[in-house]
Every structure is written in structure tokens, then in C-alpha cells.
Amino acid sequence: MIIPKLDTDVYGKVAQYWRPLHNNRVQCTLCPRLCNIPDGARGFCYVRENINGTLYLTSYGHAIGFNCDPIEKKPFYHFYPGSKIYSFGLIGCNMACMFCQNWHLTKYFPPVYEKRTYAPQDILYRAVKNDCIGLAFTYNEPITSAEWLAVLAHEAKEQGMKSVMVSNGYINPEARETLFKNIDAVNIDLKGFNDFFYQRLTHSHLQPVLDTLEWLVHETNIWVEITNLIIPSKNDSAAAIAQLTEYVATRLSPLIPIHFNAFHPDFKMMDLPKTPFETLEKARDIALKNGLNHVYIGNALSDESALAKQTYCATCGEVLIRRSQFDTVDVLLKDGHCPNCGAVLNGLFN
């Protein structure tokens, strides 16, 4: 296999989204933070560095945390269920979630990571060798390495493979089209539904995330699913869940699968309890009453949660996809239709 040479120098790769300022400062324009970065410093995400008045993406060509996963683990429940996806992280994040469950990749940067570089074909070869349908950009926030991710997704498409993202959706409009051009599916982590929550617990803002979601759903052909981590006393009230699910049903689409995940104490929020299963059940009930067709519960291993992992026909209630934990056991569709009533199940299936 011919491995293409990476277009990098000792600093990485010149970033695409930035503009020069006075006194050798630069402004990154990738995400709504618009970091004003002095010479020799890095932006909030840590991987975009100003070297002599030029912004470099230091993470270009790097990757960490390789793993072959069930697609359901991302989670994607309506995107080639039962398939495997080759997952890895890209280091860095443009939010600062106090509840981050991958903080060791978003806030801690192992020195060994910057000593290893990969060409796209290196990573694609690993995916093929592991019988995966493509690549999953996950674990950290992929947006922060947008230029590198776009190259990987392009090469994957050239090889007839899929690319999926698990993302916070915090990106400026000018960068969206290039970044998502060759992405097949994205799961957006909609962390809450008020700006106070976003400011206090993620050090970011809600509206840019909603803008990204609406653009993805209404202006692209990318398959979209949504995850909401329910945190006790922070975003778990019936009113908060109702507001979020009403938005998804009316402003996005009732066909979008939504995953309510249980919080487990981590990073800077070790003082809170894990999410009770009853809260997850309440969230699912509210979402269904608000018109969402496919509502799932994740990060909960109780017997009761098994019922909320199955995919049901929204028309007749027939089980269409059976799952056990992260594995799809049986896909009962007939050419994408319910075998009982003939209704279409929205998604992408083998």
C-alpha cells in the first residue's frame, strides 16, 4: 500500500480558519470562541497554535485511542445497525464541560501523542483489517481538528467507506460545509436547553449548537441522531426535558432518534449521584408524548433499560431492531419497511 506523505512541517499544518491581527496575534475563526491568540500561545482547544503570526493545527496527522466498536456504541441506532466502526480520538476540545467523561483526552495531552503521525491510508487500512464500515471521529471534540478530519473523511469516501462524528456541534457557519462535506452521519451532544446551563457547565453557548443542528437536518443529507446526558439537579427537570424534546420534534424532526444517557460522576462533578433510571424513563415518556418517534436510554444496564434499546415501528408498535447492550441482535426490516404494517423506518440500513 502506498502511504501518501502528510502535508506538515515541524509545527503541524497551517490552519484554514483564521485571520491575522496586529502584533503577530491571530484570531481563530473555526468556532464561536473566536480565540485571539498571541504569538507562541495556543487557543482554548489547545491544538491550534500561533507560531510567528501563523496559526497551525498541531494535531494534524495525529490520532489516539484506536478501537473497533459496534456502531451502536457511538451511539447510532438507525445507521447501519449491526456494523462495526473504527473509532479514534483527535485530541482537544472547544468546550470545558465540568462533567466530561473523556477529560483525559480533552484536557490532558500525553506527550507520546505528538510523536506519532498517521497518513490517512494508515488509519483506513486498520479499519479495513478490522472489517469496519468506516471511521468514527469520537472521544474528544473532532471539530477542533477540522482540517485533518476533512482529509480523513475525503479519503474514506474515495475508498467507499463511511465517516461518522460524535460532536458538540460548536462550530462557525464558514467552517461547516468543508468539515461536514464527506461526513455520512453525526450524533450531536445536545447537553441541555438553556444558555445558563451551557455557560455555567460547558463554558460555551447554546445557540451555535442549535444553528448547527438545524443546518444539518434541513440543509444536508447527513444522518443525524442526538444524545442528551441527563445530570441530576442540572438538566433533569420535567420542564427542561419537555423544552428540549419539543424543540427537536418541531424545529428539527420527530423522526430524529434521541438518546437519553445516564450521568456517572466524573472530572469536576464527582459530588453528584448517577442518574436514577426513573429519571431516564421520565425523559423517554416526555419525549414520546411530545411526538418523537424513536427515543432510547443509554449508559444504564438495568433490565428495564433493555426495552428502551429496541427500535419500534412508530405506526404499529412492532419491534423492528432488537438489541442487547451495544449489539444489534436482529434487524427485522424488509427493505427499510416494517414487516407488519409496511411503514418506512427512517435511517440507513444494510
Known binding residues for [4Fe-4S] cluster are 93, 97, 100
Residue (of 321, 337, 347) closest to 187 by Cα position? 347
Reference 144, options 113, 173, 169, 118; nearest CA is 169
- According to DSSP, the residues that pair with 162 across neighbouring strands are 134
Using N-to-C axis directions, what is the helix angle for 277-289 and 238-247, rounded to 10°?
40
Please measure the distance between the N-terminal and C-terminal CA atoms of the chain and give it in whole angstroms. Answer: 28
Please give the Cα distance from 105 to 141 (Å, whole number).
9
Gap between the Cα atoms of 256 and 230, Å rounded: 18
Q: Which residues in 108-123 are b (16+ Cβ under 10 Å) and which e? A: ebeeebeeeebbbeeb
Residues in the chain: 350
Q: How far apart are CA 203 and CA 183, in angstroms?
A: 27
> Strand 54-57 to strand 64-70: parallel, antiparallel, or no bridges (unpaired)?
unpaired
Binding-site residue ranges: 93, 97, 100
Strands (E) across the chain are located at 13-14, 18-20, 26-28, 36-37, 48-51, 54-57, 64-70, 84-89, 134-137, 162-167, 185-189, 223-230, 258-262, 295-298, 311-312, 319-324, 327-331
3-state class of 114 per DSSP? helix
Q: Identify the three-state secondary structure at position 289.
A: helix
C-alpha cell recorded at residue 265: 460522576
